[in-house]
Amino acid sequence: GQNIDQPTEMTATEGAIVQINCTYQTSGFNGLFWYQQHAGEAPTFLSYNVLDGLEEKGRFSSFLSRSKGYSYLLLKELQMKDSASYLCAVRDADSNYQLIWGAGTKLIIKP
Amino acid sequence: SAVISQKPSRDICQRGTSLTIQCQVDSQVTMMFWYRQQPGQSLTLIATANQGSEATYESGFVIDKFPISRPNLTFSTLTVSNMSPEDSSIYLCSVETGGEGYTFGSGTRLTVV
C-alpha cells in the first residue's frame, strides 16, 4: 500500500538548523516533493528529488534515499517566517502518477 | 511557473445548496487536479480533470457530488453539490509545472451552515 510518515510537530530556535524527516512506502516511486504551507494559504513548492542525494537551494536542502524510502528537508539559519507546515509528497507511477501526501509537519520557530 | 487564479477565496453556504469553484491558469496545461484539505490535515485528491474527457475521481468521491468541468486547457470548475456541514473544508486546484513540481491556486475556504 501507500504510506507517508512525517512528524506531526517540531519546535526549533531562530537561527538554528532543523531537519524534518519523511519516510514513504509506494510501489511506483517517481519523485519526492517538499512543500511549505503557511496557515490559511496554499502550499508552495520547495524542492524535488528523484535521484539519491542532496539537493541544495539556499537555506533549504532536501535529501533522498530511494533504497531506504527516506527523505529529509534541512532548514538552516531559521527565521520566524519559516514557521509553517512542511508537506512531503511522493509521486506514484502505479497510481496514475498522482501525488501521495504526508500529513505535514508543523514547524514552530521560537525566538 | 504557472499562475492560478482561484475564486471564490471563501464562502459561507447554506446546507443543501451548491457552490462552484473556478480556477483559471495563465498557461495551457494538460491536467488539473482538485484537492480537499480539512483543517490541520493533509491534502486529499478529489479528481483529475483532463480537457476533452470526463474527470477521473478518486475513491470516496463521485461525479454527482463533485461535478467538474474542463472546457479548455486553461480553465476548470469544481462544484460541491447538495452541501452538508461535512463538506466544510479548503478546496484547492493544482497543475503540474514541469521541473518545479505542482502549483496551487490560493484555495477556497468553504463553510457550510
For position A2, what pLDDT does the model report?
A: 75
> Nearest by CB to B92, which of A42, A48, A102?
A42
> B109 to chain A, minimum CA–CA distance in Å?
9
For position B96, what pLDDT does the model report?
A: 86
pLDDT tens column, A41-96: 899 999 999 999 999 999 999 999 999 999 999 999 999 999 999 999 999 888 87
Q: Which of B42, B18, B46 is nearest to B32 (CA)?
A: B46
Beta bridge partners of A29: A92
Neighbour-count burial for B11-38, b at 16+ CB within 10 Å, e otherwise = eebeeeeebebbbebeeebebbbbbbbe
For position A61, what pLDDT does the model report?
A: 97
For residue B95, CA distances in Å to A23, A90, B2, B27, B92 come to 25, 16, 8, 10, 10
Cross-chain Cβ contact B109/A40 below 8 Å:
yes
User: CB within 8 A of B88, min separation 6: which ones?
Assistant: B110, B111, B112
Contact A42, B104 (CB under 8 A): yes
Average pLDDT, chain B: 93
User: CB within 8 A of B74, min separation 6: which ones?
Assistant: B24, B25, B26, B27, B28, B29
Contacts of A104 in chain B (CB under 8 A): 41-42
CA-based end-to-end distance of chain A: 41
Give the B-side interface with A, CB within 8 Å.
1, 33, 41-45, 48, 56, 58, 92, 97, 99-107, 109
Residue A1 has pLDDT above 70, yes or no: no
